[in-house]
Amino acid sequence: MEIATVFNFTHDAVIFAVGMTAILASLGVILCSSPIYCALYLIGHMICLALLFLLYNAEFLAVVQIIVYAGAVMILFLFIIALLGGKKEVQENTFHRAMAFAFVFILLGELYLSATVGTTQPIRGEIPAELFGTAKAIGLELFSKHVVAFELASGLLLVAAVGVICLAKFSFAPLRRRVR
Amino acid sequence: MGQEFVLLVSASIFCVGAAGFMIRKNPLIMFMSVELMLNSVNFLLIAYSSFLNSLDGQIFALFIMTVAAAEVVVGLAIILTIFRTRHDMDVDHIDTLKG
């Protein structure tokens, strides 16, 4: 066998394995009773997605995924779980739950059908292959074509930080528990 | 791996996230399900930017990550405030506005 064939086969096998692991980890997120296990499964899912980003030539975004999601956001989730106490949730099978599953299965079937439509109109970019997905290419694109959106995103983050400080700083008088 | 595989994986993760948002009662896990949905769309954008040899998908995914980070921070602060005033973590019990 040629070396290129072996490489392509291995590449496909790795992508398949990582994709399936990502799906299984996402199932673990929604099916575990304890919030701390859900958070751990979500970290595993994020790492699988970062690997997939790497396999699809997006090295800068893979690093950003690890730092922002698996690092910052998940640490925030874990702190909140530690603060609020990770109580186990009783999961009972109700009519509402069956309806939710039915809706989601229909949605999944529709998405699978639409995935088989095939290409409509190919649009080809002109990024050279050795530069694709690197921090340099992303930076060139970001600071030339998307400067306004970049500045607006920085404003959004600032507003979010100020809003969180306002929410967390001022304490509200506790409400009386509603009598049922 | 072909484009169909990417579409199928992305659709599966999105549907798992949607199911989790509907069946869980803990607001933290509902937020995690929203993260699952956003991440599946990110994966689709990045894979297609690789297929089409254009960087626009990756820029889009970067902005989605920014907005998701801001959304998570504000949402968790709101959950914390609700918990401080009510000492209850079930979203079915938050029905003050129900009338």
The CATH number given to whatever domain includes residue A50 is: 1.20.120.1200
- Judged by DSSP in three states, B54 sits in coil
Cβ contacts of residue A68 below 8 Å, gap of 6+?
A: B65, B69
Percent of chain A whose pLDDT exceeds 90: 41
The pLDDT value given to residue B95: 81
Among residues B50, B48, B32, B41, which one has the least CA distance to residue B13?
B41
The confidence band for A16, taking pLDDT boundaries of 50, 70 and 90, is very high
| Residue A9 sits in the same domain as residue A71 | yes
Confidence (pLDDT) at A125: 67
Residues 6+ positions from A61 with CB-CB distance below 8 Å:
A53, A133, A138, B42, B46, B58, B61, B62, B65
- Residue from B7, B12, B48, B74 whose CB has the most chain A CBs within 10 Å, to mutate: B12
Residue A29 makes CB contacts below 8 A (sequence gap 6+) with: A38, A41, A42, A45, B16, B20, B29, B32, B33, B36
Examine the fold and report which residue of A87, A114, A141 is the final residue of a domain before the chain moves on: A87
pLDDT over 80 at A138, yes or no: yes
How would residue A123 be classed by pLDDT, with cut points 50, 70 and 90? low
A83 with A137, same domain? no
A87: pLDDT strictly greater than 90: no
**pLDDT score recorded for residue A122:** 65
> Are A1 and A82 found together in one domain?
yes
Q: What is the pTM of this model?
A: 0.88
Q: Is residue A19 over pLDDT 90? A: yes
CATH fold for the domain made of B3-98: Helix Hairpins (1.10.287)
Structure tokens at B3: 């484009």
Mark which of A87, A122, A154 sits at the end of a domain. A87
A60 and A8 in a single domain? The answer is: yes
Whether A26 and B36 lie within 8 Å, measured CB to CB: yes
Residues A2, A80 within the same domain: yes
- From A55, A87, A119, give the residue that closes a domain: A87
Given pLDDT bands bounded at 50, 70 and 90, which one contains residue A98? Answer: confident
CA distance A172 to chain B (A): 7
Angle at CA of residue A127, ends A124 and A128, nearest 5° = 120
Phi/psi for B84 (5° steps) reads -65, -40
Provide mean pLDDT across the span B8-37.
92
Task: Please provide the average confidence, as pLDDT, over all residues in chain A.
Answer: 85
Would you say residue A82 lies in a domain?
yes
Q: Looking at CA atoms only, how far is residue B52 from chain A in angstroms?
A: 5
| Residue A112, domain member (yes or no) | no
Mean pLDDT of chain B: 88
What is the C-alpha separation between A21 and A43, in angstroms, rounded?
12
On whether both A137 and A75 belong to a single domain, the answer is no
Which burial class, exposed, middle or buried, applies to B58 when counting CB atoms under 10 A from its CB (0-12, 13-18, 19+)? buried
Map residue A119 onto helix, strand or coil. coil
Predicted pLDDT at B65: 93
Top residue of B26, B56, B64, B95 to mutate, by most chain A CBs within 10 Å, is B26
Query: What is the ipTM score, two decimals?
Result: 0.92
Question: Contacts of residue B79 in chain A, CB cutoff 8 Å?
Answer: 80, 84
Are residues A73 and A16 part of one domain? yes
The pLDDT of residue A51 is: 95
Contact A72 B69 (CB under 8 A): yes
List, for residues A26-75, the tens digit of each pLDDT value: 999 999 888 999 999 999 999 999 999 999 988 999 999 999 988 899 99
Mean pLDDT, residues B76-89: 84
Task: Verify whether the Cβ–Cβ distance B16 to A27 is below 8 Å.
Answer: yes
Q: Cα distance from B41 to chain A (closest Cα, Å)?
A: 11
Residues 70-99 of B with CB under 8 A from A: 70-74, 76-81, 83-89, 96
Q: Would you call B58 and A60 a contact, using CB atoms and an 8 Å cutoff?
A: yes
Number of domains in chain A: 2
Is the predicted pLDDT of residue B59 greater than 80, yes or no? Answer: yes
Q: Is residue A26 a part of any domain in this protein?
A: yes
B69 CB neighbours in chain A (<8 A) are: 68, 72-73, 157
Q: Model confidence over B23-57: pLDDT tens digits?
A: 888 889 999 999 999 999 999 999 988 888 888 88
Q: How far apart are CA B61 and CA B46, in angstroms?
A: 7
**A151 contacts in B (CB within 8 Å)?**
none
Q: For residues A11 and B54, give the distance between their C-alpha atoms in angstroms, rounded to a whole number.
A: 21
Between CA A29 and CA B65 the distance in angstroms is: 19
Q: Are residues A139 and A73 in the same domain?
A: no
Domain coverage including residue A137:
131-170
Average pLDDT over residues A64-91: 86
Query: Is A2 found in the same domain as A65?
Result: yes
- Listed in sequence order, the residues at least 6 apart from A2 whose beta carbon sits closer than 8 Å to its beta carbon are none
Residue A179 has pLDDT above 70, yes or no: no
Residue A165 lies in a domain: yes
- pLDDT: is B65 or A125 the higher one? B65
